[in-house]
């Protein structure tokens, strides 16, 4: 018969020792587990995990284990804790506040939020939701662990970080060093060990007693379990499992997905130290997409994630093995994941390009919007990231020619280019087309910044040397009936034999795309003149409205303004290329009519410079 959990809380002690404080608006949240996995790279699994049973010798000393088993509420312990603000270890004193069947909970001495924590609710969440759910999907933790104790220790504390400076704060962490005896940790390692299965959960600025607070514990518990089954798993896989576990436990979508919206071409597999908040959002959405498309039942989800965690294959190889049952692979699922992330909306057909009902109010912003032909896109993309551009087909002929060139500058990177023709009114993707003839040139080819692609003159690939190896390809596609827009997805890829660990420090790879309308249509030059003019007043009005309401410290507002600025200049540049010399002047006249130099001055100067450059060229 299942034991009834016991709550051993010293309410009077906590109320007397701790006082609450008001909470300010919290900065973005991150978790710190990846720091400790990086420090432990190359270390074998703990000896007691590798043994076949002589636990009394290889685990913690018997005396320490007995001490823990006899621990009573109010007992004090001193733990090694990490200060993320200055990257140093500190010793933190704490009191045992509560215990249950599977957990022992300590509270930091002098914690300012201690009296606010509802220990009864916390125990209930742990025992009735977090623990059974996490073990169902990801397996069992080491039981008993290094301390010969079957219960997991949780330390509630104010984790030291840079929250006071408005930077992302650390909401919790799992230190894998705790699972090692001190003599197993290399002398040159920065790890410390408390010799127990242990989680650290922040109380300030984290909001205690909230779904997000409990979600942090669910996240960190998955890390502890994953470490037991596969200590060598890549961070992006482990973090993605931890992120999706919060959804399994019923705590909703994490806030970090908004950070991913600001950097859509972020690499899924490169756990970059510069963009960690976006990494969390992206890995979460990757697993949520797999659930929406392939894992429709609870049994399928349990089987998939248990297999992923226990597999000896790591990273992309592990996902390939887990996805094989669905007759797909990582590369194909990754492309669909990004298409869904950009196009996601209710009722879009086919449903392959959505998150179903799991996530309806989310989509990534497109990289650019083009309204006339010819159009040129020049940008860069991360390995295992993707850019999407949107092309209005109002001025298109019966065919579209797309020419692609991408620099191979990082780890033999590769590209995949996908064209999606859609009917926006009917909310459906009509046709999907791959540029299948993208091939690498010989090693001494010109970098794409100096290449004029054949989309402009239908010429052959005949370029001067050197210096950059380049992938090139092109495609001519009939515009399907009913299509009013074309989406163009550029994916950065790496060869299968490049380990995921090599990608963390990889730079983005530059590419260029030329899009040309060919085939029968009304005069393309006239169309290039008409389409942007029709949009001109709307674009400028939106630009002014956004500028008036924008938060100058908001990266999101800044990025939208920059995108609109870029779109207006692109329209003018495309008009010049199509023979329309008047569009720049028409924009300038409209800007003058608005009489808002404090907002439109920079745009006006850019247009004047573009106009002058075009006159010099002619």
Q: Is 230's pLDDT higher than 70?
A: yes
Confidence of residue 225 (pLDDT cuts 50, 70, 90): very high
**Encoded tokens for 615:** 């006159």
More confident residue, 255 or 3: 255
CA-nearest of 336, 327, 347, 331 to 285 is 336
**Encoded tokens for 380:** 């860069």
Confidence of residue 462 (pLDDT cuts 50, 70, 90): very low
Give 3-state DSSP helix, strand, coil % of the chain, rounded to 5. Answer: 40, 20, 40
Confidence of residue 525 (pLDDT cuts 50, 70, 90): very low
**H/E segment holding residue 343:** helix 330-343
Q: Is 203's pLDDT higher than 50?
A: yes
CA-nearest of 262, 250, 164 to 212 is 250
Per-domain residue ranges for the chain? 11-232, 253-364, 368-521, 526-617
Q: Is 377's pLDDT higher than 60?
A: yes
Phi, psi of 281 (to 5 degrees): -65, -40
Confidence of residue 70 (pLDDT cuts 50, 70, 90): low
Please state which of the ranges 33-42, 60-69, 277-286, 542-551 shows the lowest mean pLDDT: 60-69
- The percent of residues in the chain predicted with pLDDT above 90, rounded, is 46
Average pLDDT over residues 341-347: 91
Q: Is 94's pLDDT higher than 70?
A: yes
Q: Is 174's pLDDT higher than 80?
A: yes
Question: Mean pLDDT across the chain, nearest whole number?
Answer: 79
pLDDT value, residue 66: 52
State the helix-helix crossing angle for 298-310 and 235-248, rounded to 10 degrees: 150
pLDDT value, residue 524: 38
pLDDT value, residue 427: 92
**Residues 538-584 pLDDT 10s:** 667 767 766 766 555 555 556 656 667 777 777 777 777 667 777 77
Average pLDDT over residues 515-543: 57
Confidence of residue 63 (pLDDT cuts 50, 70, 90): very low
**What is the pTM for the complete model shown?**
0.75
Q: Is 448's pLDDT higher than 60?
A: no
Q: What is the 3-state secondary structure (H, E, C) of 284-296?
A: HHHHHHHHHHCCC
Confidence of residue 537 (pLDDT cuts 50, 70, 90): low
Architecture category of domain 368-521 in CATH? Sandwich (2.60)
In terms of C-beta density within 10 A (0-12 exposed, 13-18 middle, 19 or more buried), how is residue 177 classed? Answer: buried
> Is the distance from CB of 510 to CB of 406 less than 8 angstroms?
yes
**Encoded tokens for 533:** 């003019």
Please state which of the ranges 39-43, 336-340, 366-370 shows the lowest mean pLDDT: 39-43
> Is the distance from CB of 13 to CB of 149 less than 8 angstroms?
no
pLDDT value, residue 438: 78
Q: Is 595's pLDDT higher than 70?
A: yes
- The percent of residues in the chain predicted with pLDDT above 70, rounded, is 74
Confidence of residue 372 (pLDDT cuts 50, 70, 90): confident
Q: Is 213's pLDDT higher than 60?
A: yes
DSSP conformational letter for 365: P
d(CA 278, CA 329): 24
Average pLDDT over residues 586-605: 80
**Residues 132-145 pLDDT 10s:** 999 999 999 988 88
pLDDT value, residue 509: 86
**Residues 258-274 pLDDT 10s:** 999 999 989 999 887 67
More confident residue, 87 or 609: 87
pLDDT value, residue 249: 98
> Is the distance from CB of 164 to CB of 204 less than 8 angstroms?
no
Q: Is 527's pLDDT higher than 70?
A: no
Confidence of residue 236 (pLDDT cuts 50, 70, 90): very high
Handedness of CA 440, 442, 446, 451 (dihedral sign): negative
Q: Is 228's pLDDT higher than 50?
A: yes
């Amino acid at each position: 018969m299942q034991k009834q959990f016991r709550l051993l809380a010293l309410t009077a002690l906590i109320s007397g020792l701790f006082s609450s404080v008001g909470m300010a608006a919290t900065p973005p949240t991150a978790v710190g587990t990846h720091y400790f996995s990086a420090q432990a790279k190359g270390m074998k699994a703990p000896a007691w995990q590798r043994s076949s049973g002589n636990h009394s010798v290889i685990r913690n000393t018997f005396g320490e284990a007995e001490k823990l088993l006899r621990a009573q509420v109010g007992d004090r312990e001193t733990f090694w804790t990490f200060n993320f603000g200055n990257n140093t270890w500190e010793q933190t004193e704490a009191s045992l506040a509560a215990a249950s069947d599977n957990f022992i909970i300590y509270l930091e001495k002098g914690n300012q939020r201690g009296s606010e924590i509802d220990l009864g609710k916390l125990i209930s969440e742990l025992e009735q939701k977090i623990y059974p759910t996490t073990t169902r999907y990801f397996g069992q933790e080491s039981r008993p662990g290094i301390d010969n104790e079957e219960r997991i220790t949780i330390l509630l504390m104010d984790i030291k970080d840079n929250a006071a400076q408005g930077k992302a704060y650390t909401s919790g962490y799992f230190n894998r060093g705790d699972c090692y005896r001190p003599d197993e940790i290399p002398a040159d390692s920065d790890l410390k060990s408390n010799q127990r299965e242990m989680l650290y959960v922040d109380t300030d600025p984290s909001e205690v007693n909230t779904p997000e607070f409990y979600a942090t514990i669910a996240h960190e518990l998955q890390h502890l379990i994953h470490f037991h089954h596969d200590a060598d798993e890549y961070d992006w896989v482990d973090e993605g499992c931890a992120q999706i576990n919060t959804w399994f436990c019923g705590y909703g979508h994490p806030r970090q997905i908004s950070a991913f919206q600001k950097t859509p071409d972020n690499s899924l597999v490169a756990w970059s130290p510069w963009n960690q908040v976006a990494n969390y959002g992206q890995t979460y959405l990757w697993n949520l997409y797999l659930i929406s498309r392939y894992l429709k039942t609870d049994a399928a989800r349990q089987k998939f994630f248990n297999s992923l965690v226990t597999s000896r294959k790591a990273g992309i190889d592990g996902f390939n093995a887990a996805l094989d049952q669905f007759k797909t692979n990582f590369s194909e699922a990754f492309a669909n994941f990004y298409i869904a992330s950009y196009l996601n909306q209710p009722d879009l057909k086919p449903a392959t390009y959505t998150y179903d009902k799991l996530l309806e109010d989310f989509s990534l912003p497109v990289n650019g919007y083009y309204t006339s032909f010819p159009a040129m896109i020049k940008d860069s993309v991360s390995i295992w990231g993707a850019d999407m551009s949107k092309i209005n087909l109002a001025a298109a002929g019966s065919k579209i020619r797309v020419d692609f060139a991408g620099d191979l500058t990082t780890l033999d990177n590769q590209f995949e280019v996908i064209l999606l023709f859609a009917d926006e009114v009917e909310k459906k993707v009509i046709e999907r087309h791959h540029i299948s003839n993208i091939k690498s040139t010989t090693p001494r080819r010109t970098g794409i910044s100096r290449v004029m692609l054949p989309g402009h003159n239908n010429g052959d690939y005949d370029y001067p040397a050197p210096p950059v190896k380049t992938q090139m390809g092109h495609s001519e596609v009939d515009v399907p009936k009913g299509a009013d827009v074309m989406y163009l997805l550029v994916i950065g890829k790496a060869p299968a034999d490049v380990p995921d660990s090599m990608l963390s420090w990889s730079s983005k790879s530059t590419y260029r795309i030329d899009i040309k309308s060919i085939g029968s249509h009304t005069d393309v030059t006239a169309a290039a003149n008409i389409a942007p003019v029709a949009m001109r007043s709307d674009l400028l009005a939106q630009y002014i409205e956004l500028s008036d309401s924008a938060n100058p410290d908001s990266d999101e507002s800044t990025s939208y303004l920059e995108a609109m600025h870029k779109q207006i200049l692109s329209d003018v540049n495309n008009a010049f290329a199509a023979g329309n010399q008047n569009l720049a002047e028409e924009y300038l006249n409209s800007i003058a009519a608005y009489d808002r130099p404090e907002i439109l001055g920079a745009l006006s100067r850019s247009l004047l410079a573009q106009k002058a450059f075009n006159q010099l060229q002619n």
